[in-house]
């Protein structure tokens, strides 16, 4: 039996292990990316490894998240990142150049290569046949230092696309349909590989939307073959030399298969407050809308904005609606300007924002109290917009534009003929805002403002675990719930002690105080604990507050790795019904926890308060056990770094 595309790229980068689902493998990493929200910590971790220069073929640091300079903090971080990039051999994408995933797709994506990014939407580059995976910042730092990336070999799901999208239906509707069918846990431990006759009808930006939001399925990554569509895209970017054909073998095997007829899709919408709460737009028509935002790494491409501008041309944004447009990159902004589409958007009443993440992570444009916000983004977890509670709907740019005009949820098919927009023959390729490291990089002075605090160091775990349950949560707790993003906390990303004051702020604002008083603690969670952003602060900062273990029904992939990397033990219930036998405040004890984890023995937590025993499990690989026993990845990797 032949290999599918994911298996081929993994085989070509395999440093350890074998291609059997569930077994740990190690991948050689060609490229890495990080950004300002994770990058300060990632680069501090890299610095702590004492490696003089990155060892990857290409590593980039983008500034796209924390753009507001309401104080010195973000500016400090940007300057630190710029000088660290120059010192250690990374390319630096300056503030204003665009969102990391959009710029990376345009300027650096390469079929057949591996990309590890400290951002959960790194799979966006799967649109060109690249194996692009999101990870915690420490894993990215290790890759920059030349170490492999470890993960459990995912199963590969073939998504067979048939037919062609109808007018007014977007590739966003394709991924929303998958979310409707599979849910936010439907991709855990899986790679989604797209195949079938429908693939060739989708442009690279359309594919990028699908790969980007495959993250919301919980997938390890998503990818498309590198075909003529990819060739045209890379040629138009002036990067034809990066292209090579790549596809699955004709007799490739897959672990699962799904069929999806593109021509059966209709405009869809995810309702508050989860990306899988998907319904046809026609079922929620008429809801009054206060805010519409187009942008984010999901839908801010040239084609997306040209389409929105074509819908708005000659019309006015509804007076009840605040309508924002965020171009994904400077390339997009320049091209919609040259095409006259920017003028059309301005004339219609759009508020044009800087090329950055912006409203997507709550950095500006937080909706008014009680307001309905419709966004072309990828996530609508509660409070992510910056307003609590919020009512955020997710949809395609086409649907968003229709709503901006009517002021109500509207099926865009009511607007008559769909606009036709084409990919350009040539994109505006100007890398002038990407700084390359100098030859004499060892002479670069690192500028470390007062906002850059020292990296907290973890120590090896104690032999036994005895601590109270500091918090018991429900299902699908996101990293946004653990440590929020947004304008308020963005400036504190390089300051763990200050960030610690906001841990679980949305669930229980007394958590930091209680954690400090207890000195050590345990968090109990439901299903899919730690979904969403790859934000390692959601592990790092609780570790700083003394969290020693998280006991949950299940974990999201990246968060589980992040917990182990900072020496928090992730445990699952052997019997999920035992979740109900623990309450917040209970004292839990696991005698000999450290050695029992290492020995693979049966694990039992004693609920001292209730006088009962609760069998638990861990899913740490032998390597992860060593990471845990060493007190986290940084301690483990130091001394093991390749020469």
Name the residues that contact ligand F3S, by CB under 6 A: 65, 99-101, 119, 121, 296-297, 357, 360-361, 378
318 belongs to the catalytic site: no
Instruction: Check: CB of residue 355 under 8 Å from CB of residue 330.
Output: yes
Smallest distance, ligand F3S to C-beta of residue 118, A: 11
Which of the residues 13, 30, 59, 64 is marked catalytic? Answer: 64
Smallest distance, ligand F3S to C-beta of residue 296, A: 4
Q: Which is nearer to ligand F3S, 355 or 401 (CB)?
A: 355
Q: Which is nearer to ligand F3S, 100 or 116 (CB)?
A: 100
Q: Which is nearer to ligand F3S, 296 or 607 (CB)?
A: 296
379 belongs to the catalytic site: yes
Q: Which is nearer to ligand F3S, 357 or 404 (CB)?
A: 357
Q: In what helix (H) or strand (E) does residue 383 lie, and over which residues does it extend?
A: none
**Tokens read off for 200:** 């060739």
Smallest distance, ligand F3S to C-beta of residue 99, A: 5
Smallest distance, ligand F3S to C-beta of residue 156, A: 25
Q: Which is nearer to ligand F3S, 419 or 486 (CB)?
A: 486
Q: Which is nearer to ligand F3S, 296 or 624 (CB)?
A: 296
Smallest distance, ligand F3S to C-beta of residue 119, A: 5
> If you write DSSP's letter for every residue of 469-492 in order, what string do you get?
EEEE--SS-BHHHHS--STTTGGG
**Tokens read off for 339:** 């095409």
Q: Which is nearer to ligand F3S, 163 or 272 (CB)?
A: 272
Residue with tokens 């966004």: 375
Q: Which is nearer to ligand F3S, 109 or 458 (CB)?
A: 109
Q: How far apart are CA 400 and CA 423, in angstroms?
A: 21
Smallest distance, ligand F3S to C-beta of residue 212, A: 8
557 belongs to the catalytic site: no
Smallest distance, ligand F3S to C-beta of residue 597, A: 34
By three-state DSSP, how is residue 641 classified? coil
- Beta pairing partners, 221: 191
- Planar angle of CA 75, 76, 78, nearest 5 degrees: 65
**Tokens read off for 374:** 């419709």
Q: How far apart are CA 558 and CA 540, in angstroms?
A: 13
Q: In what helix (H) or strand (E) does residue 211 lie, and over which residues does it extend?
A: helix 204-214
Phi and psi (nearest 5°) for 111?
A: -55, 135
561 belongs to the catalytic site: no
Instruction: Check: CB of residue 515 under 8 Å from CB of residue 467.
Output: no
Q: How far is CA 591 from the centre of its chain?
A: 36
Q: How far apart are CA 379 and CA 396, in angstroms?
A: 13
119 belongs to the catalytic site: yes
**Tokens read off for 307:** 């389409």
Residue 641's closest CA among 27, 147, 45? 147
C-alpha to C-alpha distances, 412 to 174, 280, 402, 539, 608, nearest whole angstrom: 16, 12, 5, 42, 59
Q: Where are the alpha helices (DSSP H) in 440-577?
A: 479-482, 496-499, 511-518, 537-544, 557-565
Smallest distance, ligand F3S to C-beta of residue 335, A: 19
Which of the residues 375, 535, 537, 629 is marked catalytic? Answer: 535
Q: How far apart are CA 439 and CA 441, in angstroms?
A: 6
C-alpha to C-alpha distances, 169 to 176, 243, 335, 472, nearest whole angstrom: 11, 29, 24, 41
264 belongs to the catalytic site: no
Catalytic residues: 64-65, 119, 379, 533, 535
């Amino acid at each position: 039996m032949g290999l599918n595309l994911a298996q081929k790229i993994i085989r070509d980068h395999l440093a350890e292990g074998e291609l059997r689902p569930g077994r740990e493998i190690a991948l050689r990493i060609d490229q890495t990316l990080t950004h300002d929200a994770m990058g300060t910590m990632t680069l501090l971790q890299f610095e702590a490894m004492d490696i003089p220069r990155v060892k990857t073929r290409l590593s980039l640091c983008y500034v796209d998240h924390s753009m507001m300079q309401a104080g010195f903090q973000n500016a400090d971080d940007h300057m630190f990142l710029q000088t660290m990039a120059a010192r250690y051999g990374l390319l630096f994408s300056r503030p204003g150049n665009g969102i990391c995933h959009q710029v990376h797709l345009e300027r650096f994506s390469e079929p057949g290569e591996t990309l590890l990014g400290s951002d959960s939407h790194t799979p966006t580059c799967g649109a060109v046949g690249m194996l692009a995976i999101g990870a915690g910042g420490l894993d990215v730092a290790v890759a920059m230092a030349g170490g492999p990336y470890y993960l459990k070999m995912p199963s590969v799901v073939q998504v067979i696309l048939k037919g062609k999208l109808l007018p007014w239906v977007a590739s966003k509707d394709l991924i929303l349909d998958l979310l409707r069918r599979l849910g936010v846990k439907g991709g855990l431990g899986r790679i989604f590989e797209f195949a079938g006759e429908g693939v060739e009808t989708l442009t690279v930006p359309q594919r990028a939307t699908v790969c980007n939001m495959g993250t919301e399925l919980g997938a390890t990554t998503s990818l498309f073959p590198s075909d003529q569509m990819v060739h045209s895209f890379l040629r138009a970017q002036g990067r034809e030399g990066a292209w090579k054909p790549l596809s699955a073998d004709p007799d490739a095997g897959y672990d699962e298969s799904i069929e999806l007829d593109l021509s059966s899709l209709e405009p869809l919408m995810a309702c508050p407050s989860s990306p899988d709460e998907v319904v046809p737009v026609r079922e929620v028509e008429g809801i009054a809308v206060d805010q519409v935002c187009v942008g984010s790494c999901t839908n801010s491409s040239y084609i997306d904005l040209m389409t929105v501008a074509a819908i708005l041309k000659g019309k006015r944004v509804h007076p009840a609606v605040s309508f924002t447009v965020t171009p994904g990159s400077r390339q997009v902004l320049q091209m919609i300007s040259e095409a006259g589409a920017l003028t059309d958007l301005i004339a219609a009443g759009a508020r044009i924002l800087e090329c950055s993440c912006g409203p997507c992570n709550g950095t500006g444009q937080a909706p008014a109290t009680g307001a309905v916000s419709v966004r072309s983004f990828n996530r609508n977890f509660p409070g992510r917009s910056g307003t609590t509670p919020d009512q955020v709907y997710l949809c395609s740019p086409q649907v968003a534009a229709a709503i901006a005009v009517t002021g109500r949820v509207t099926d865009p098919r009511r607007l008559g003929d769909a606009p036709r927009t084409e990919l350009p023959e040539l994109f505006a390729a100007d890398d002038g805002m990407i700084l390359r490291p100098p030859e004499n990089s060892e002479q670069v002075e690192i500028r470390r403002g007062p906002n850059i605090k020292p990296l907290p160091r973890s120590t090896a775990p104690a032999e036994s675990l005895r601590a109270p349950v500091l918090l018991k949560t429900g299902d699908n707790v996101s990293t946004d719930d653990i440590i929020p993003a947004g304008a308020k906390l963005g400036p504190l990303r390089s300051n763990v002690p200050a960030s610690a004051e906001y841990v679980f702020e949305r669930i229980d604002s007394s958590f930091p105080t209680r954690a400090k008083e207890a000195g050590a603690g345990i968090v109990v969670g439901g299903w899919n604990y730690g979904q969403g952003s790859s934000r390692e602060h959601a592990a790092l900062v609780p570790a700083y507050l003394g969290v020693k273990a998280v006991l949950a029904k299940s974990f999201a992939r990246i968060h589980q790795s992040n917990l182990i990397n900072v020496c928090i033990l992730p445990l699952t219930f052997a019997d999920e019904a035992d979740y109900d036998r623990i309450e917040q405040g209970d004292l839990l004890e696991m005698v000999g926890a450290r050695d029992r984890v290492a020995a693979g023995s049966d694990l039992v937590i004693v609920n001292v308060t209730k006088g009962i025993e609760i069998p638990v499990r861990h899913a740490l690989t032998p390597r992860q056990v060593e990471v845990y026993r060493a007190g986290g990845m940084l301690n483990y990797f130091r001394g093991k770094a390749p020469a």
